[in-house]
Amino acid sequence: MSGKRMAFAVSALLCSGITHAYGAGFGITTQGVSGLGNAYSGGAAIGADATTVYFNPAAMTLLKGKQVVGGMTLIVPDLKFKDDGSTTGGSTGGQPGQNTIVPNFYSVVELENGLYVGLGINAPFGNATDYKEDWYGRYYAIKSDFMTVNVNPSIAWRVNDQFSVGAGLSLQYLDAELSNAIDFGTIAYAQSGYNEALAPLVHNRDGKVVLEADDTGYGFNFGFLYEFNDQTRMGFAYRSTISYTASGSAKFTVPETISGNPALDGAIAASPNFANGSAKAKIKVPDSASLSVHHQVNPDWAVMADVTWMGWSSFDELRVQFSDGRDDSVTTFDWEDQMRYSVGTTYRLNPRTILRAGLALDEEAIPDAQARQPRVPGNDRTWISVGLGYQVNERMGIDVGYAHLMVKDAKIDQQQSVPENTLKGSLRGEYSNTINIVGVSLTYSF
């Protein structure tokens, strides 16, 4: 393997690490607990509590006085991989899906002259998978630990009795740790001129690379709320793309002995392609738009619906730049824009208790098995949700919610013939997954 080809392969390996962490399906819908119970249907029109800072700032005008909401959701996946002809030996990876707690905090203050201000702190994007280090796809991914923290100050104005507008700014921090194995056995075999005596080394002399990077990006959001009458209202909300230039370090672990040939092993270990160093990657997360309707059928019963679009097709490439002068590594994508459809209902059982239920279809942006990656092996999801709100007293309320997500089985077919997969082998198989989400929040009004 020539030095240039090795450099390309290693660059592609690093690039794919970030690629998978930012694939479709890493958006986190659970940005509040009251909405969890109705599958976040009608999110841009409900304005039930201060969580509307995230879903539609214009709906802050439906609240009175001052309010704070703090909550968290626990996401529990049951992700399993079944091999179907991968070229690398190994295990199925154990249980790669990681339980994740997603916290959130919101506050809204009513001012004078129809003005409102709000603040939201949440985690709109994230991903956590961790495979066993001997699994079939170890050269594609081992660990993916990716999170964002979003700080979102907002303002709203009630223009008249029917129309409200709102807008906000997003200060969003991104942090990622990604790792995968490196097949130094194949590298040694190729560097030896494909000496058959070294063929048994293939897939049997693994090293590792760990990439850590972070950055802060900026974006905006805005929304409108139109109240047709006391029973029916419609909301529209938009959130912008956010661009990052994430910088950090790439750390390599090279086996002390690869081939048993000191000269060959020394040359591989000394290659600048496996030297610890710094790198940066330009990344853009997608924008989104939601249209929601809320209708109060009678004083106790309400129905709502929502359609949300996410512009994943705008995430067209990932460009990694290295500090040592290596050529940029560019990975292109073939993702599609994503749609989410939801319907829900609430029923006030008594003055203190409200019941919630909802259904949603959450489409996946990954179009086929060739585009799917093991860091985020998502597919279409169907939500079934229930929830309950209980008003403890005139100031304090508690919300709980539960959702069961049925994920369509997802085939993966990564081919070694693709240039960026040169050192990874072919990964073929199918993922199955179900997800359970439970949340609890506390609301305080004053």
Kindly indicate the confidence band of residue 284, based on its pLDDT and cuts at 50, 70 and 90: confident
Which CATH code fits 3-445?
Answer: 2.40.160.60
**What would the mean pLDDT of 42-54 be, rounded to a whole number?**
97
Q: Determine the pLDDT at residue 300.
A: 97
Q: Determine the pLDDT at residue 137.
A: 94
Could you report the per-residue pLDDT of 211-243, keeping only the tens digit for each?
Answer: 899 999 999 999 999 999 999 999 999 999 999
Q: Determine the pLDDT at residue 326.
A: 66
Kindly indicate the confidence band of residue 25, based on its pLDDT and cuts at 50, 70 and 90: low
Could you report the per-residue pLDDT of 128-166, keeping only the tens digit for each?
Answer: 899 999 999 999 999 988 889 999 999 999 999 999 999
pLDDT at 13 over 70: no
Could you report the per-residue pLDDT of 80-134, keeping only the tens digit for each?
Answer: 999 999 999 999 998 898 898 999 999 999 999 999 999 999 999 888 899 999 9
Q: Determine the pLDDT at residue 327.
A: 67
pLDDT at 281 over 90: no
pLDDT at 23 over 80: no
pLDDT at 10 over 70: no
Could you report the per-residue pLDDT of 51-78, keeping only the tens digit for each?
Answer: 999 999 999 999 999 999 999 999 999 9
- Secondary structure in 3-state letters for the chain: CCHHHHHHHHHHHHHHHHHHHCCCCCECCCCCCCCHHHCCCCCCCCCCCCCHHHHCHHHHHHCCCEEEEEEEEEEEECCEEEECCCCCCCECCCCCECCEEEEEEEEEEECCCCEEEEEEEECCEEEEEECCCCECCCCCCCEEEEEEEEEEEEEEEECCCCEEEEEEEEEEEEEEEEEEEEEHHHHHHHHCCCCHHHHHHCCCCEEEEEEEEEEEEEEEEEEEEEECCCCEEEEEEEECCEEEEEEEEEEEECCCCCCCCHHHHHHHHCCHHHCCEEEEEEEEECCEEEEEEEEECCCCEEEEEEEEEECHHHCCEEEEEECCCCCCEEEECCCCCEEEEEEEEEEEEECCEEEEEEEEEECCCCCCCCCCCCCCCCCCEEEEEEEEEEECCCCEEEEEEEEEEEEEEEEEEECCCCHHHCCCCCEEEEEEEEEEEEEEEEEEEC
Percent of the chain exceeding pLDDT 70 equals 92
Q: Determine the pLDDT at residue 341.
A: 97
pTM of the model: 0.90
Domain ranges in the chain are 3-445
Q: Determine the pLDDT at residue 332.
A: 61
pLDDT at 297 over 50: yes
**What would the mean pLDDT of 323-342 be, rounded to a whole number?**
78
Q: Determine the pLDDT at residue 371.
A: 87
Percent of the chain exceeding pLDDT 90 equals 73
Q: Determine the pLDDT at residue 277.
A: 84
